[in-house]
Amino acid sequence: MNDYIYKSKYLRMFIFLFVLIFTFNVSSHGVVSSIEDEANINRKINFPNTKNYFVIISDLHTHSAFSDGHVWPNLRVAEALRDGIDLLAITEHLEYQPHKFDIPHPDRNRAFDIAFEAAKKSNVLVINGSEITREFPPGHINAVFIKDANKMINIDRSKQSEVDDFISELPLELIEEHLNDPWFKDGILAALWPIEETLNEAKNQDAFVFWNHPAWSSEKESSDKVLHKIHSDLIKKKLIHGIEVVNGKWFSKEAFQIAIDYDLTIMGTSDVHGLIDWDYLQVPNGHRSVTLILTKEVTEESIKDALFEGRTVVWYKNELIGREENVLELVNSCLSIKNTSFKGKTNVLLVEIENISDVEFLLQVNDGKSIEDNSSIFKVLPNSITSIEIGNSPSKRLKLGLNILNAHIAPNKHPKIVISY
């Protein structure tokens, strides 16, 4: 009897979650808008390789029409090419297929197959992935580098009558518009497969697994708590390896702290459902949220190793987010002093700082040196050389201590670097 009550409560909450997901996706990803002078926008994301690693620009959470996205998989590849993405995963919801009337394809690998074929003659590496969709907690979880998405879902038809009985008890106004949707009952049946068993299948496929958008308000509506026992248990069993600190336009300091506390790989993704242009190119220099992976070799195996080892930096809006060693590795490859010279016969030193990345760095002098206008804060523009003036300099040789105000190595903590000439 207690088991019956538990399952009934679980299914009621899961059905409600699906309704919320459907409503969210329609309202958030279905609006078409235009972009002025799009053809003139240089949209390729640019970061240099570091002294020790190749930098792989990745987006490992995207959707197509094979779940709740609004585009064909080959368009995801075309967008990736335009954005300079090196590594792409189309991660369809396994349990949630609202387009099933129009695209009744039983193969959960189909979106990957189409995208992989489209990317064959390009520089984009497409990997297989899926989004495991459960009620919070645990919520939604991505598995990438999988071998067969079909093995990640288990629909037990023997429980169909049980599900029908549960559905009949629900308020009709809550579910009426979805009763004839082919994904509805299958999604509920699929969600009955315990999450640990699903993630064990991911482990069997040697997948890299990360927790998606953990701090979404819609996922924790009944509690302000983000991390639950089920999460910590799955992390301890090494069934979850990373966490999204950035999902689309959302940055979660709570998720960032969880990543640090539990030694999880720091991830940032677009979670795009419509067009990238709709979501990100509405502002000057707009770009999708990405994970920069620091890899020893440009191979699929080496990239996956880097993810498991936590060598990532997230680029979100104009912010860099990651562990200190990874952020410093990246920033030191982006910034350098190109030249110094005295201003006339004064002791004011003109310093040219070169930035070979897309980040507009916001820097603060932290070693007592005075710069022009008696300010300690200045900007270094992307992909250019920025000049600053430093007063009372005894020599052209220079060591400049800086706080990077738009980089984060923990919530509310910025890294420090020293650049020299």
Least confident of 7-16, 272-281, 343-352: 7-16
Q: Is the dihedral of CA 251, 252, 253, 255 positive or negative?
A: negative
Asked if pLDDT for residue 284 goes beyond 80, the answer is no
List phi, psi (to 5°) of 92. -70, 145
Asked if pLDDT for residue 200 goes beyond 70, the answer is yes
Query: Contact, 326 vs 333, CB < 8 A?
Result: no
Quick: pLDDT tens for 84-140: 999 999 999 998 888 877 887 789 999 999 999 999 999 999 999 999 988 889 999
List phi, psi (to 5°) of 345. -100, 20
Higher pLDDT, 242 or 278: 242
Q: Is the dihedral of CA 88, 36, 274, 286 positive or negative?
A: positive
Rg (CA), the chain: 24
Asked if pLDDT for residue 333 goes beyond 80, the answer is yes
Asked if pLDDT for residue 39 goes beyond 70, the answer is no
Confidence of residue 36 (pLDDT cuts 50, 70, 90): very low
Quick: pLDDT tens for 381-416: 999 999 999 988 888 888 999 999 999 999 999 999
Quick: pLDDT tens for 219-235: 555 556 889 999 999 99
CATH topology of domain 334-420: Immunoglobulin-like (2.60.40)
Integer angstrom CA distances of residue 41 from 65, 247, 277, 289, 319: 27, 24, 11, 17, 20
**What angle (nearest 5°) sits at the alpha carbon of residue 332, between those of residues 328 and 338?**
160
**What angle (nearest 5°) sits at the alpha carbon of residue 275, between those of residues 71 and 36?**
140
Place of tokens 């090419």: 81
Domain ranges, ordered by start, for the chain = 2-317, 334-420
Residue 403's pLDDT is: 97
Give, in words, the CATH class of 2-317.
Answer: alpha beta
Nearest to 335 by CA among 234, 236, 404: 404
Q: Which helix (H) or strand (E) holds 80?
A: helix 73-83
Predicted structure pTM score: 0.88
DSSP per-residue codes, 106-123 = --TTHHHHHHHHHTTTSS
Residue 11's pLDDT is: 53
- How many other CB atoms are found less than 10 A from the CB of residue 413? 10
Query: Contact, 214 vs 153, CB < 8 A?
Result: no
Integer angstrom CA distances of residue 357 from 12, 361, 384: 49, 9, 9
Question: What is residue 290's three-state secondary structure?
Answer: strand
Least confident of 26-40, 54-68, 144-158, 403-417: 26-40
The pairing of strands 265-269 and 242-247 is parallel
- Quote the CA–CA distance of 254 and 241 in Å, as a whole number: 17
DSSP one-letter code for 287: -
User: Residue range 2-16: average pLDDT?
Assistant: 48
Confidence of residue 320 (pLDDT cuts 50, 70, 90): very high
Query: Contact, 95 vs 149, CB < 8 A?
Result: no
Confidence of residue 261 (pLDDT cuts 50, 70, 90): very high
- Quote the CA–CA distance of 355 and 332 in Å, as a whole number: 10
Higher pLDDT, 225 or 15: 225
Looking at the DSSP bridge assignments, the partners of residue 322 are 313
User: Residue range 360-376: average pLDDT?
Assistant: 88
Nearest to 312 by CA among 52, 58, 45: 58
User: Residue range 30-51: average pLDDT?
Assistant: 63
- Quote the CA–CA distance of 414 and 291 in Å, as a whole number: 19
Query: Contact, 159 vs 185, CB < 8 A?
Result: no
User: Residue range 17-38: average pLDDT?
Assistant: 40
Residue 274's pLDDT is: 94
Enumerate residues 6+ apart whose C-beta is below 8 A from 404. Answer: 320, 327, 331, 361, 362, 363, 414, 415, 416, 417
Q: Do domains 2-317 and 334-420 have the same CATH topology?
A: no
Q: Is the dihedral of CA 117, 118, 124, 126 positive or negative?
A: negative
Please report how the helices 2-29 and 182-191 are oriented relative to each other, as an axis angle in degrees rounded to 10: 130
Nearest to 25 by CA among 68, 62, 85, 56: 68
Residue 1's pLDDT is: 41
List phi, psi (to 5°) of 331. -65, -40
Asked if pLDDT for residue 26 goes beyond 90, the answer is no
- Quote the CA–CA distance of 209 and 191 in Å, as a whole number: 18
Nearest to 115 by CA among 141, 80, 146, 139: 80
